[in-house]
Amino acid sequence: MAHTEPRNSLARTPNRRQWLQRASTTGIGFFAAGNMVASLGSSAFSHPTVAEQPFADETYASGKNVAASVHPLATEAAISMFRKGGNAIDAAIAAALTLSVVDSHNSGIGGGCLAIVRTANGQVLALDGREMAPKLAHRDMYLRNGKPDGTLSQDGPLAVATPGQLAALYDLSTKHGYLRWRDLFEPAIAHAEYGFQIDRVLAGRISGEADIIRRYPETARVLLKRNGSPYAQGELLLQPDLATTLTSIANEGIEWFYRGPFAKTVGEWMGQNGGILSADDFAAYQCKYREPIRSLYRGYDVIGMPPPSSGGVHIAQILNILQDFPLPELWKTDRNQAYHLLLEAMQLAFADRAYWLGDSDFVKVPRGLVDPTYARTLAQKISRSQKTRFATHHVPADAATNVFDDRKHTTHLTTADQLGNWVAITSTVNTSFGSKVIVPGTGVVLNNEMDDFSIAPNTPNAFGLVGSENNAIAPGKRPLSSMSPTLVLNDKKQPILSCGAAGGPKIITAVLRILTAVLDENLSVADAVAAPRVHHQWQPDEAVVEERLPDSVVADLKGRGHTTRSIAASAIAQAIQWTSDGNLHAASDPRVPSRAAAYEA
């Protein structure tokens, strides 16, 4: 494929060890005082030197104001907002915007998000910024000759749903933030305009998706070299079009994105390239506040997202099941059985997920799924010695009438401050680089969230998940999600833990493992995030175990009848914990080059 000369010229930078050595000896942070100017014009920021770009694997931090994310530059963006006098909401938004630049394979303003927020006055919010199907979407849009074609829902123009993240971030900023909207964009714009060093994770994702990226000329122009080869770790990626887009949103607000030039540009391109997303779809988008899911687990109030997230429902369901078992004691005396019980409870919940879950604005999702009485009936199906094959879903009481009703590849970040604001945001463009579509002139990676619908009954999506009619495509409907931002309160209604993860359906089980590690094992948040994980999603019928899980545990699981498959990492998580000494402790996942940081006002 022929390419024009890339506008995002790249240059070699020192290798990572040299970079870290220079950064540590200079002691200069990218957002040190005076490093930025107030204007958001084309030359708004001074050019950061390599030594000024912090990139260390500092996965734990403690202090009065903390942040953790999957990328060190996003975490530093959050800390820079604390330095400006912002609160945890400001810090989280700046981190999310920065991830749009440095972590675009996972998330960005071309995708969506779900957020659990606890404000300083004690209010708990569940904000739905999930993407919505275009108005021309329909149930059978991916059928070709009567058969589902999953490639159409995963790559290209037809895979894109209306982005929702920006609307959600703006709503949080205007209602709960301290800083100006435009202030929150400064780090993201700087990294897009002046570049950032590609880490091993991004380099690997670009290389792994290069064959598909080459099908889309603009995406290839941004992410690949002129000869079509991927950029490598240690090179500097500049994204001037994305910098321009972010600057326009910062200066003109989200109207520019949803009802102005961005929506018009995307809509026109879609119409010319076989897509159905239109400017009208952008104009019609609205984020929604929903009633959080609350469940009690061993005296703690666990708060999660309701549908279209499946995470909040099934984390509550699994915890309810596990309450029938002495997990706190088993983690000390029989860890093998504890892991077995986790896998059994996961299977039960994911069987229900496949049948019941969908957008509660469109379908009836039983509240009975999170009823402790229902959980006890499920717990009775579990053998403590042998794996059980759960062939189908189960039916909670009042499934037809007692329902959720709110009409009356992914990344997670979390922040908290000394005022009592806590934020847990999980955001996504779905699989790596979403639809692989970047509309010329925008620089924005667009999602492929249409694949999170059930494109046909019992047809697995990109993550191997199957769904029912409840998650079928409909205009304006939001696809089912595994995103699971979670908050835990103690008996005094004080927040003591927030967590979330990235990794498709493994999000749910990663969050579950962190919760059990902290609440049952009494592990520190850093140890809880690092602890080995297991996963079972009912179909396929296999126990996915991290390679770090001891061989003795894996052998025991096999002896109980589990078919196991080993992987290097099951999801990528971040968490914050409050301890009785009054400190906040942030942990990012050591499985990738992530960062946690603190700021003392």
pLDDT tens-digit series, residues 120-143: 999 999 999 999 999 999 989 999
Asked whether the predicted pLDDT for residue 69 surpasses 60, the reply is yes
Greater model confidence, 191 or 5: 191
Question: Which pLDDT belongs to residue 32?
Answer: 29
pLDDT by residue (tens digit) across 176-222?
999 999 999 999 999 999 999 999 999 999 999 999 999 999 999 99
Average pLDDT of span 293-319? 94
**Whether the predicted pLDDT of 34 surpasses 60:** no
At 403-458, the pLDDT tens digits run 444 333 679 999 999 999 999 999 999 999 999 999 999 999 999 999 988 876 55
In this structure, what token pair is assigned to residue 283?
Answer: 């104009």
Residue range 25-46: average pLDDT?
30
Partners of 596 in the beta sheet?
A: 68
- Three-state SS for 527? helix
**pLDDT digits over 376-397, tens only?**
999 999 999 999 887 665 656 5
Q: What is the pLDDT of residue 389?
A: 82
Instruction: Give the span between the Cα atoms of 457 and 183, in whole angstroms.
Output: 46
Q: Which residues participate in catalysis according to the annotation?
A: 410
Q: Tell me the pLDDT band of 460, cut-offs 50, 70 and 90.
A: low
Please tell me the predicted confidence (pLDDT) of residue 398.
59
pLDDT at 468 over 60: no
237 three-state secondary structure: strand
pLDDT in tens, 225-259: 889 999 999 999 999 999 999 999 999 999 999 99
Can you tell me the distance from the alpha carbon of 187 to that of 185, in angstroms, rounded to the nearest whole number? 6
Average pLDDT over residues 268-281: 98
Contact 413/77 with Cβ under 8 angstroms? no
Instruction: Note the pLDDT of residue 470.
Output: 77
Q: Tell me the C-alpha to C-alpha distance, in Å, between residue 196 and each of 16, 52, 103, 202, 419.
A: 12, 11, 11, 11, 32
Cα distance between residue 487 and residue 554, in whole Å:
31
Dig out the tokens for 293 from the structure: 């899911």
Helix (H, G, I), strand (E, B) or coil at 7: coil
The model's pLDDT over 501-557, given as tens digits with 9 standing for 90+, comes to 998 889 999 999 999 999 999 999 999 999 999 999 988 899 999 999 999 999 999
Q: How many CB atoms lie within 10 A of CB 440?
A: 13
| Residue, of 66 and 46, whose pLDDT is higher | 66
Q: What is the three-state SS of 280-304?
A: HHHHHCCCEEECCEEEEECCEEEEE
Structure confidence at residue 53 (pLDDT): 34
Closest CA to 246 of 384, 108, 72, 132: 108
**What structural domains and CATH numbers belong to the chain?**
16-287+410-451 (no CATH), 289-408+482-580 (1.10.246.130)
Question: Cα 509–568–110 angle (5° rounding)?
Answer: 65
Write down the pLDDT at residue 308.
85
Cβ atoms of 181 and 253 closer than 8 Å:
yes
Strands 445-446, 486-489: pairing is unpaired
The DSSP letter of residue 338 is: H
* pLDDT at 17 (0 to 100): 32
Question: Which amino acid, one-letter code, is at 506?
Answer: K
How far, CA to CA in Å, does 297 sit from each of 160, 199, 318, 372? 38, 39, 10, 10
- Note whether 348 and 321 are within 8 A (CB): yes
